[in-house]
Structure 1
């Protein structure tokens, strides 16, 4: 990125504290919402927030601030911003920072710290947060001079957004926040350059695609990050190549599109996994060959050559040797790729016949709630405005398998880190980013308890988030693995002493009701979607239900297990 202009507010020559300079700098970068929790070492910044244009959302735990900022960024296309004090406030952000790093989400994390003269003395609530977060940020700054704050903030936003996005950290000692700066305030405004496509590599890719008889598009989350969804859909439409998606790429191609075979990997569809295993060419678009997608890597797509498009050269041939590498901006590269007519009709028909043969069924026996059917109906009833903010566990996989997603912003999930507790704060962040969307947090009883305190945030700000809480009174995915791979030794997965979730939600001032029978599902979904404010549907499901299909750990994607 290059500096294009300088923004100069009125009365900029008046002395400002570092704290007020930070607030002005965030305003200059276009920040409108930030998430945080105050404390001693960040108190000067909170004092400076008063009267600013920034809308601060007081979460009830700093982890909630990081997860909410992450989802706000995914939903809005902006950089998410979160803020915490030193010591435990800063360390409570770490899981959320790691989550953003794993899923390439642009986020600026601001922490207060003890005064510079106390650094290194083990003073009260002192922590080396820069050192703690070095492996999970793109870059970090400790501000030593308050006059540097505008340039540091501008650089932080540039680094967070450019190339492969990710989180950055700004650490502000308390004396720097108090320090006065008697100089004009000037924050550089950055413009994104248009990156040229590598046309020589693209011509090689086109030749490889034309030569293939069984090509498959392997779509990763980088497509959405690059803003290349339209280009992907155009390429998918004009080539007809069957496509599969990773967990973080769901919605890049609409769920019901002809030729889309579904999610790949451990809990992917049989149609997707078997197509990849038979393919003679994988066109990999912004994906990183994650182990949950590939299964046993040595046996993944054993007959396929690899054409790999990615902005990050470190991903090329990291896990699977690329036959052709197209490094650069995915949006520009996809738009420039046109292999011409392909003679692959027999392959397309074979893939689609398999997809039809192995399509999911929703006629499970019994009177209890069948979670896949509920989630499918929920997403269809909500329509194109549906956004699922998923926690982590069985419900996450059911949502990925059975919900209808019309765009990638409709599916928010902790993909790389798999962090329980993501769903509720992510839902509130997404709803603040897109207030007109029908945002639904989909959570399990285990993950929901990890950040249940954010119900208070929903109530305080009147955030109209809907919550589907699938309660099987256990850590369902761990229980499933213990059943299948640990001789049914159900160690520490029993959550039968859960609280009355309806009563808990109502105690927070959130409307809530319970569903326990299949006949209650349709009316319950309607009540949830029609509720005028935040609302929780507590859905009781059978603890013996498992997620199928499943690729056992360490096995090839060709070795899928199916339930009854």
Structure 2
């Protein structure tokens, strides 16, 4: 949720934690002896099995809502208040303690750097020649850059947008984490564009999510709100399909949206007064993104046809411990090779 508050490029940035977080970030939480949590709620998508989460850590929990503190994880130190003010108070207290003694964190960072190098968040290009959805999102982030605002719906594309776009500035990443609101991307992107009219705003959406609120593109066209929509079109409800593949023996139920381009998103975009583009070849991805970037007098919808069976990794399966994180299907980190 707070991607960009601490720049991805910072050497001490370990990545997103949680169910689809990096191995380094998940392990750091598990092995830490102190957690300073600001505005967090210790939901199960971050903690995994709560009874096994960060078992050796003391917790300083700051939140403006007192009902959140201690709700899921006991807080050794509870701070009720605005996070900004809390940080301003904590920093000088920490600096004062460091004047007395400062712990040697070199071994810790050696371990974390090793995990980050050994288990980076990555992907493989499909062997059948279809377009990798991760590659599409990675290239959107690279071409549009860190000054743009990125909004995601809910599902696989949401996780890939959090993993493969590099966030360097606060408030450049908007998504409905926690609530899981399919259809969030288009209207949220509209609001971001109205609030920051000089900023490029990308709605990264799935073909399922997009069909819940795409009618709002009419509002965009009529009111000159030129957002850019990237549909990561895998002809399915991808995240549900991934779970059905992994946990239900590939028994697919009501997740296939395969329909021979029904609706045809390019024609739909045109009918709503938007520019419609399509990309179904890896070699065309950059050119299509740049074409979308060049259109600024109307909304743009890009239909990216991508590999249907791509999965989001790493993954901590629901109800399991963060210690059981998987880097691919049936493949866990080699903990024996790590000095933890």
User: What CA distance in whole angstroms lies between the structure 2 residues aligned with 1:251 and 1:395?
Assistant: 18
Aligned residues of 2:60 and 2:76 also touching (Cα < 8 A):
yes
Deviations along 1:242-288, one digit per CA (max 9) or x if unpaired, are: xxxxxx11111111211111111111111111111111111111101
Aligned residues of 2:193 and 2:225 also touching (Cα < 8 A):
yes
Q: How does 1:415-426 map to 2 (within 5 A)?
A: 415-426=177-188
Within the candidate set 215, 221, 224, 1:453 is matched to 215
Which has the larger Rg? Answer: 1
Residue 338 of structure 2 corresponds to which residue in structure 1?
none
Q: How does 1:267-346 map to 2 (within 5 A)?
A: 267-338=20-91, 339=94, 340=98, 341-346=102-107
Q: Do structure 1's residue 491 and structure 2's residue 256 form an aligned pair?
A: no
Number of residues paired by the alignment?
A: 317
Residue 152 of structure 1 corresponds to which residue in structure 2?
none
Residue 481 of structure 1 corresponds to which residue in structure 2?
243
C-alpha displacement of 1:429: 1.0
Residue 519 of structure 1 corresponds to which residue in structure 2?
283
Q: Aligned to 1:505, what secondary structure does the other structure show?
A: helix
Structure with greater strand percent: 1
Q: Do structure 1's residue 392 and structure 2's residue 154 form an aligned pair?
A: yes
Residue 271 of structure 2 corresponds to which residue in structure 1?
507
User: What CA distance in whole angstroms lies between the structure 2 residues aligned with 1:396 and 1:547?
Assistant: 10
Unaligned runs of 5+ in 1: 1-247
Residue 381 of structure 1 corresponds to which residue in structure 2?
143
Question: Once superposed, what is the RMSD of the aligned Cα atoms?
Answer: 1.4
User: What CA distance in whole angstroms lies between the structure 2 residues aligned with 1:361 and 1:269?
Assistant: 10
Q: Do structure 1's residue 556 and structure 2's residue 321 form an aligned pair?
A: yes
TM-score between both structures, scaled by the size of structure 1: 0.55
Runs of 4 or more, structure 1, over 3 Å off, are none
Residue 444 of structure 1 corresponds to which residue in structure 2?
206
User: What CA distance in whole angstroms lies between the structure 1 residues aligned with 2:43 and 2:120?
Assistant: 25
User: What CA distance in whole angstroms lies between the structure 1 residues aligned with 2:20 and 2:56?
Assistant: 22
Deviations along 1:90-147, one digit per CA (max 9) or x if unpaired, are: xxxxxxxxxxxxxxxxxxxxxxxxxxxxxxxxxxxxxxxxxxxxxxxxxxxxxxxxxx
Aligned residues of 2:18 and 2:48 also touching (Cα < 8 A):
yes
Q: Aligned to 2:316, what secondary structure does the other structure show?
A: coil
C-alpha displacement of 1:363: 5.0
C-alpha displacement of 1:362: 4.9
User: What CA distance in whole angstroms lies between the structure 2 residues aligned with 1:475 and 1:373?
Assistant: 19
Deviations along 1:168-191, one digit per CA (max 9) or x if unpaired, are: xxxxxxxxxxxxxxxxxxxxxxxx
Q: Aligned to 1:495, what secondary structure does the other structure show?
A: coil
Within the candidate set 259, 265, 281, 2:18 is matched to 265
TM-score between both structures, scaled by the size of structure 2: 0.90
User: What CA distance in whole angstroms lies between the structure 1 residues aligned with 2:108 and 2:56?
Assistant: 15
C-alpha displacement of 1:343: 2.2
C-alpha displacement of 1:534: 1.2
Within the candidate set 227, 252, 273, 2:5 is matched to 252
Q: Aligned to 1:547, what secondary structure does the other structure show?
A: coil
Unaligned runs of 5+ in 2: 330-340
Residue 114 of structure 1 corresponds to which residue in structure 2?
none
